Amino acid sequence: MKSIVKNGLEIIAGALIYALAINYFLIPNRIGEGGVTGLTALGYYTFRIPPALTNFVLNGILILVGFKFLKRETVFYSLWAVLWISLFLRVPVFLPYHTSQTVIAAIAGGVLMGISMGLIFRAQGTIAGSTILAKIVNRYLGIRNGSAMLFFDLIVAIPSGMVIGFQNMLLTVLELYISAVVLNKYLDALGAKRSVLVFSKHNQAIGKALSTNLGQGVTMLKATGFYSQQEMDALFYICSNRDWTAVMPIIMSVDPEALVVTDQVRSVRGFHLPEL
């Protein structure tokens, strides 16, 4: 229940930032978007269709697709995100950001969009639209969420130049690129794991210290030195970035001469990390 409440609140925060980016930076400066959001903006520019209505209808269709390919919890969190985005998009806009330097609006909108989607993705949800498709591609092909999302967004953004003009189409592409980069960096910084491989004569003691202090399992592997042909244990450990700062001091306190190999891990499946 604690996890559900935490994810729900993160999604609400992400939805608020997302709506601020759309209503205060993108629409006032006629900057488009990709995916369903891009179609939402085009519908508003061309036919004055309320963004909340277009967002809800089109995303509802894509969420039905998500039921077939994604986990049920992801789909339900996505519904929660779409609901709050639709509500926040209906909030009256006060002091929208109009500027002749529209590149500033594109950069600001891209950063806010990246942060908002990072919050929602971290909470196991999506904003539907292209992010549903990106999640599916990430799950089955391993392509990073931001990169997959950028591909699907550009399919809508580039043709939008016929409605919003060539210059604004270029600004849209810039905004999409920035949001994809921010999303990837956000997920890498907060969602990635680290793997640790330790070679030491004291691996049993190191494993016990890591397990006792950090409360996670440690894997012992059998290894053989090529030159000496001597068998020894190799310790393999996966941790969050939050715990990483404690891992090296624990290892060094047991064996300062241990050989430690570390690497950044983009995705871990079937592995439980407490309170993440």
From the CB of residue 256, how many other CB atoms can be counted at a distance below 10 Å? 8
Query: Positive or negative CA dihedral for 88, 89, 95, 97?
Result: positive
Prediction pTM value: 0.66
State residue 275's pLDDT score: 40
State residue 127's pLDDT score: 76
User: 274 pLDDT exceeds 70?
Assistant: no
Where along the chain do its domains lie?
Answer: 2-191, 193-265
The percent of residues above 90 in pLDDT, for the chain, comes to 8
pLDDT tens per residue, range 217-272: 788 888 887 777 778 788 888 877 677 778 888 888 888 888 888 887 765 655 44
3-state secondary structure 137-206: HHHHHCCCHHHHHHHHHHHHHCCCHHHHCHHHHHHHHHHHHHHHHHHHHHHHHHHCEEEEEEECCCHHHH
pLDDT tens per residue, range 131-176: 777 878 877 777 877 788 788 888 877 877 777 788 888 888 898 8
Please state which CATH number belongs to domain 193-265: 3.30.70.120
